[in-house]
Every structure is written in structure tokens, then in C-alpha cells.
Amino acid sequence: MTGSVYQLILAIFLACMTQTSLADEDYGNARKLVESGTILSLEQILDHLGTRVEGKILEVEFEREDGHYIYEIEILDDSGLVRELEVDAVSGEILKMELED
């Protein structure tokens, strides 16, 4: 992994420590799904994203939308814009990337 990916992982860890962006139930469900191999872990998602998306992680949420498991990741990019990504938790594919208002 590159240095920027490690920084990204550290930022996510710190964000999770200071904010509870996943409810206890969601966290437990996500952990079970990762352990069973149903979804990718957040670390795997970040590895998959690699250098395509860089910046500071502001928030991470895990949700189920229309039967699909999704990681919603808010990132503050180098230009100061906040971007929201929706990433498929099974494949790691970026489903949506948009600027936050």
C-alpha cells in the first residue's frame, strides 16, 4: 500500500474514534458480513480505491439500500471540496461520486 492509503486508513480510524458514524447495530452487522466474506472490509475498500480518491476522510457510513450494502464515504479533497462517494460493499465499485452542498 502507498503512504497516502495508510494516511487514509489512519484518518478513517481517527474519524471513527471521534464520531460514531456507524450505529452499534450497523457496526455489528457490518462486522458479521465482513467475517462471513459477504462484503469487503473498509480497509479492502480503501485499498481498492487506491489513488483514485485522495483527501481527508470526514465520515463513513455503512448502509443497506435497495438490497445492496453500501459504504458512504465523505472526503475533503485537496481543493477544499467535500465529496460523497457511494461504494458497493461487495465489489468495491464506486457507484456515485458527487460534491456535497
Distance of alpha carbon 3 from alpha carbon 18, whole angstroms: 23
Q: How many domains does the chain have?
A: 1
Higher pLDDT, 35 or 3: 35
Mean pLDDT of the 48-67 span = 86
Q: Count helices and strands (H / E) in the chain.
A: 3, 4
Which residues, including other chains, have CB under 8 Å from residue 85's CB and lie 6 or more apart?
Answer: 49, 53, 71, 72, 73, 74, 75, 94, 96, 97
Higher pLDDT, 64 or 16: 64
Predicted local confidence at residue 18, as pLDDT: 41
Mean pLDDT computed over every residue of the chain: 82
Mean pLDDT of the 27-53 span = 87
pLDDT at 90 over 60: yes
Predicted local confidence at residue 8, as pLDDT: 64
Domain that holds residue 95: 3-99
Contact 59, 76 (CB under 8 A): no
CATH number assigned to the domain comprising residue 83 = 3.10.450.40
pLDDT at 60 over 70: yes
